[in-house]
Chains A and B, each alone.
Chain A
Amino acid sequence: ENNDLPFDPALCGGPISTQPDPANLAAREDPATPVTIDADRVDYFGATQSYRFAGNVLLQQADQQLQADRIVFNQETSRADASGNLRYYEDGLTLWAEEGHLYFDVTRGALSTARFQFEHSYTHGDADEIIIEDSQRSRYRDVRFTTCPPDRTDWWLRGSELRTDREEGMGSARHAWLQFMGVPLFYTPYISFPIDDRRRSGLLAPSYRQSSRSGFDLRIPYYWNMAPNYDAVLAPRIVTRRGLMLDTEWRLLTRQFAAETDLQYLPDDDLYGDDRWLASLRMESPEERAIQWELDLNRVSDEDYLRDFGSGIASSSVSHLPSLAIASYQTLDLRVSAQAQTWQTLDQEVSSPYRILPRVRVDYNPAPIAAGLDYRLESELTYFDHANPSARDTGVRAHVVPTLSRTWDGLAYFITPSFAVSHTEYWLDRPDNSAAENPSSTIPIFSVEAGIFLERDFALGNRALMQTLEPRLFYLYVPEYDQSDQPRFDTRDSELTLGQLFRTNRFTGPDRQGDANQVSAALTSRVVDRQSGREHLSASVGQIFYLEDREVTINDALEDPTRNSSDIMAELRSQLPGGFNVFADYRWDPYDNRTRRSGLRLQYRPQPDAVINLGYRSRTERDSGSRELEQTDLSFVWPIGARWHAIGGWRYSLLDNETLEQFAGFEFDNCCWSFRLLAREYVRDLDREPEREVMFQLEFTGLADVGRSVQDFMIDAVTGYRPRR
């Protein structure tokens, strides 16, 4: 389903023309290429070297073809004057006219009262005159064109002049009016759009929002194509309760980098009483470069900006707006990266996080030295800074973990003992000047992981299946080491999950290396289709058995350190043919006889644009045992016929028995234009009215794929949904 034409054959009927022979510009210039002219009758005048053809005349040179009732052709000037049912064809472009002339050697000419059609982008229309300037560029005067199928032209773009440049694959019109269903909808002094399948954005995908926070919010983007590698979108935006705003996106592509900046500015917001703005810059190095670097800087004028002007969950749920710069160099054995990261805290109830200025990581993991003997060195040097250093520790942390492990494995088993030393050292400035400025710890870590693979073949109906049974054990021994004098920059209890069973540290960061004398046991069973190798079912269960109590803890630890076994973790993932999927994870606390965490998602997804999700999620506090989170969510996008899609979603919190978010809408796609309408209501603050939003979007296929706000919302809100094109 990944054809890159913006047109869906199911809706638009097949492409307008059959497969043309490819444009062979070289062939046109090649002296060995003949010009052949067929006709019912021809008269040749040697004196003037001119021919007069009559009767269904067809002139051909490489991929160029000129048909007409009558053609007069002068061999010396290679000018052809044609009249009567004229049809000119070259790859990807067809022109019809009453009469016209063409210099065949340099492809220059003019046709009057003509019709034209670009096959690759379905663009077609008519013009009083078409001037062919050369084999790549032509101009159309008093033109109207559309990308709708010939029998259903719902919209026309009329202009005084249209220019097309097939080398760039771009068309641009001046003084253009868009007429939709006969009603003039927009005027624009200038518009540019793609005329081949190198999809580039165009203009006129207005998106409109009505929200209780900002009132009526209409955004009309103009695409400005300054150069093949440098373009911009300028979108004036009327926000009735706040004022006039300008959204701009600038894109630049060079051999050294790709850059994109978003600049949004609203002078003197009536509601807010101050200027509002957003500035973001994203830069990336080209893919093939050895050293990859990336820059992603984001800043907004105030903490409510994203909620007032962003749309959808992606913007309303952001607590901290990240800005980062990363440079990394990777080979098979070595990964070196340097990263700086800061945040702009938008959520006033929480403290702002540490700033990483910078973090340098070196991870060296060569191929096994001797048979199965694996050496790995992970190291990191980070400077942690903070907005108010007087209240928080700041300084440099170095962390080095050399690891040696030996693997004996075959198809049916593996056993991997490994020995590591985790060394962490700090150089700190601390508000409490009695605390150590240079704490450090060097802790040995010993672990053994082993597992065997059992299999059994069986059949279900005519499907050849295989079931596996994979028991796995992991013994971990880490002596206790007092690290209480070490700061806590990025270290908390990492969430207990099945994956965590086989990790050597129960904390998320190196500020604390957990002491341990424990055995993790897990059992996984999979059902695999022997024919395709697809995994239809995978079920796992696991638990940790503590041989000693844990000493190294942090105040809000997630688990009582004196228990002698952890919660039981289970996980189920099944993807059945036909698109039935089940994802479930569950955590049972045998001590307090309680479900600590559960998550279930049922999904029916027969095709990428037909998805129904039903989900339940719960989490309980450790000590109080009260529910921290219990939510159900429903989301779907479902096609109705070939043209319509229904969209819906509902997120309900059982904890507060309150609807947290609900949205509903539809998408109508009529091949060359589509229309999306979506209404959304979400709770921003329980004791205030929920926020309401209506999003509408009218898109002219092939002209514009700019600002697909509603479609981006659907992809984000409905897991698994991918638009058809």
Chain B
Amino acid sequence: CGWQLRGAGAIPLDGIPVAVVTEANLPEVERELRRGMERAGAVLVDEREQAEAVLVLISEQRRRRASAVDRDARAQEYELEYGLRFRVESPEGEPWGVSEVVTNTRSYRYDRDDVLATEAREEVVLEELRRDTTRLLLARAQATMGRNL
């Protein structure tokens, strides 16, 4: 019924030199983007000049809000809204399409009597959101590059 292993068809960015540039101080996201690009077959280059396409990581956005409150209006659950703004452009800096924001949300339980455990839980959720949002960003960036190369 049409199922095939990924990559059986054309490999999206096979052998294409790509540079990953970041305007924000986000090494984890940058490293994940580099590995994602390599997995998609791209050849990572350091200088934009040697690249055919440039992925620019612009900023990270985080917002935490109380998504559930209990009977005395204290937070029971928090929702973390996470976003990465990026754009794809030619080596000369001419943007392909407008800069986009990939957003993602997850909620986690807030224990009033163990704030440290909740902080640890928030860090785990943030890590998951970061990995998932980076994957969403890569899919969009690779599709945009595919259209413009």
Touching in the complex, A and B, CB below 8 A? yes
A631 in contact with B6 given A287-B24, A509-B120, A533-B144 (CB within 8 Å): no
A317 in contact with B73 given A331-B27, A490-B120 (CB within 8 Å): yes
Chain B, residue nearest A531 (CB): B143
Bound form: Cα–Cα A411–B139 in Å: 13
Q: Are B147 and A412 in contact (CB under 8 A)?
A: no
Bound form: Cα–Cα A292–B65 in Å: 25
Inter-chain contacts of A532 with B (CB < 8 A): 140, 143-144
Q: How far is the CB of B104 from chain A (nearest CB, A)?
A: 8
Q: Are B69 and A661 in contact (CB under 8 A)?
A: yes
A508 interface neighbour in B25, B65, B117, B139, Cβ under 8 Å: B117
Decide yes or no whether B113 CB sits under 8 A from chain A.
yes
Q: Are A313 and B121 in contact (CB under 8 A)?
A: no
A410 in contact with B108 given A317-B73, A331-B27 (CB within 8 Å): no
A533 in contact with B65 given A412-B7, A453-B6, A719-B81 (CB within 8 Å): no
Q: How far is the CB of A403 from chain B (nearest CB, A)?
A: 15
Bound form: Cα–Cα A456–B105 in Å: 27
Inter-chain contacts of A55 with B (CB < 8 A): none
Q: Are A411 and B81 in contact (CB under 8 A)?
A: no
Bound form: Cα–Cα A671–B25 in Å: 37
Decide yes or no whether B149 CB sits under 8 A from chain A.
no
Chain B, residue nearest A615 (CB): B67
Chain A, residue nearest B115 (CB): A353
25 contacts between A and B (CB under 8 A): A292-B25, A314-B65, A317-B69, A332-B31, A411-B7, A411-B11, A452-B5, A454-B3, A454-B4, A454-B6, A458-B2, A490-B116, A490-B117, A491-B117, A491-B120, A494-B117, A495-B121, A499-B128, A533-B141, A629-B68, A660-B69, A660-B73, A684-B72, A686-B71, A719-B105
Bound form: Cα–Cα A444–B33 in Å: 30
Q: Are B72 and A629 in contact (CB under 8 A)?
A: no
Bound form: Cα–Cα A629–B68 in Å: 9
A412 in contact with B65 given A317-B74, A719-B79 (CB within 8 Å): no
Chain A, residue nearest B66 (CB): A317
A412 interface neighbour in B8, B66, B67, Cβ under 8 Å: B8
Decide yes or no whether A275 CB sits under 8 A from chain B.
no
Inter-chain contacts of B77 with A (CB < 8 A): 617, 629
Query: Which size class do A's interface residues fall under?
Result: 35 or more
Bound form: Cα–Cα A318–B72 in Å: 11
Decide yes or no whether B62 CB sits under 8 A from chain A.
no
- Give chain A interface residues in 668-699, CB to chain B under 8 Å: 682-686
Bound form: Cα–Cα A330–B26 in Å: 8
What is the number of residues of chain B that contact chain A, defined by CB distance less than 8 Å? 60
- Give chain B interface residues in 122-149, CB to chain A under 8 Å: 124-125, 128, 136, 139-144, 147
Q: Are A354 and B116 in contact (CB under 8 A)?
A: yes
Decide yes or no whether A379 CB sits under 8 A from chain B.
no
Contact digits for B55-81, partner A, Cβ 8 Å, 1 yes 0 no: 000000000011111111111110101
Bound form: Cα–Cα A175–B121 in Å: 54
Chain B, residue nearest A354 (CB): B116
Decide yes or no whether B111 CB sits under 8 A from chain A.
yes
Decide yes or no whether B119 CB sits under 8 A from chain A.
yes
Chain A, residue nearest B98 (CB): A2
Decide yes or no whether B107 CB sits under 8 A from chain A.
yes
Decide yes or no whether A607 CB sits under 8 A from chain B.
no
Inter-chain contacts of B25 with A (CB < 8 A): 287, 292, 330
A629 in contact with B70 given A319-B75, A411-B39 (CB within 8 Å): yes
Decide yes or no whether B94 CB sits under 8 A from chain A.
no
Q: How far is the CB of A587 from chain B (nearest CB, A)?
A: 12
Decide yes or no whether B52 CB sits under 8 A from chain A.
no
A353 in contact with B116 given A332-B27, A533-B142, A656-B71 (CB within 8 Å): yes
Inter-chain contacts of A622 with B (CB < 8 A): none
Chain B, residue nearest A412 (CB): B5
- Give chain A interface residues in 356-406, CB to chain B under 8 Å: 356, 365
Inter-chain contacts of A661 with B (CB < 8 A): 69, 73
Q: Are B5 and A454 in contact (CB under 8 A)?
A: yes
Inter-chain contacts of B39 with A (CB < 8 A): 409, 411
Contact digits for A396-427, partner B, Cβ 8 Å, 1 yes 0 no: 00000000000001111100000000000000
Q: Are A457 and B75 in contact (CB under 8 A)?
A: no
Q: Are B1 and A456 in contact (CB under 8 A)?
A: yes
B71 interface neighbour in A319, A452, A499, A683, Cβ under 8 Å: A683
Inter-chain contacts of B11 with A (CB < 8 A): 411
Q: Are A492 and B136 in contact (CB under 8 A)?
A: no
- Give chain B interface residues in 27-53, CB to chain A under 8 Å: 27-28, 30-31, 39-41
Decide yes or no whether A343 CB sits under 8 A from chain B.
yes
Decide yes or no whether A335 CB sits under 8 A from chain B.
yes
Contact digits for A227-238, partner B, Cβ 8 Å, 1 yes 0 no: 000000000000
Given contacts A314-B65, A412-B5, A534-B139, 18 further A-B pairs with CB under 8 A are A307-B73, A320-B115, A335-B28, A411-B11, A454-B6, A455-B8, A490-B116, A494-B117, A495-B109, A497-B106, A528-B139, A532-B143, A533-B142, A629-B76, A660-B69, A683-B71, A684-B72, A716-B65
Q: How far is the CB of B139 from chain A (nearest CB, A)?
A: 4
Inter-chain contacts of B109 with A (CB < 8 A): 495, 619
Q: How far is the CB of A633 from chain B (nearest CB, A)?
A: 8
Inter-chain contacts of B141 with A (CB < 8 A): 533
Q: How far is the CB of B83 from chain A (nearest CB, A)?
A: 11
Q: Are B120 and A508 in contact (CB under 8 A)?
A: yes
Bound form: Cα–Cα A686–B71 in Å: 6
Q: Are A468 and B6 in contact (CB under 8 A)?
A: yes
Q: Are A317 and B75 in contact (CB under 8 A)?
A: yes
Decide yes or no whether A278 CB sits under 8 A from chain B.
no
Inter-chain contacts of A314 with B (CB < 8 A): 65-66
Inter-chain contacts of A356 with B (CB < 8 A): 116
Inter-chain contacts of A658 with B (CB < 8 A): 71
A651 in contact with B74 given A287-B25, A452-B5, A492-B111 (CB within 8 Å): no
A456 in contact with B117 given A332-B27, A332-B30 (CB within 8 Å): no
Q: Are B120 and A534 in contact (CB under 8 A)?
A: no
Chain A, residue nearest B125 (CB): A499
Q: How far is the CB of B32 from chain A (nearest CB, A)?
A: 11
Bound form: Cα–Cα A671–B4 in Å: 56
Bound form: Cα–Cα A631–B77 in Å: 11
Bound form: Cα–Cα A385–B81 in Å: 31
Q: How far is the CB of B112 from chain A (nearest CB, A)?
A: 5
B112 interface neighbour in A319, A599, A684, Cβ under 8 Å: A319
Q: Are A490 and B119 in contact (CB under 8 A)?
A: yes
The 9 tightest CB contacts between A and B, nearest first, are A533-B143, A411-B7, A490-B116, A412-B5, A453-B6, A533-B140, A492-B117, A317-B75, A508-B120
Q: How far is the CB of A657 from chain B (nearest CB, A)?
A: 12
Chain B, residue nearest A335 (CB): B27
Inter-chain contacts of B115 with A (CB < 8 A): 319-320, 322, 343, 353
Q: Are A453 and B69 in contact (CB under 8 A)?
A: no
A313 interface neighbour in B7, B27, B66, B112, Cβ under 8 Å: B66
A617 interface neighbour in B8, B67, B144, Cβ under 8 Å: B67
A347 interface neighbour in B6, B24, B41, B112, Cβ under 8 Å: B112
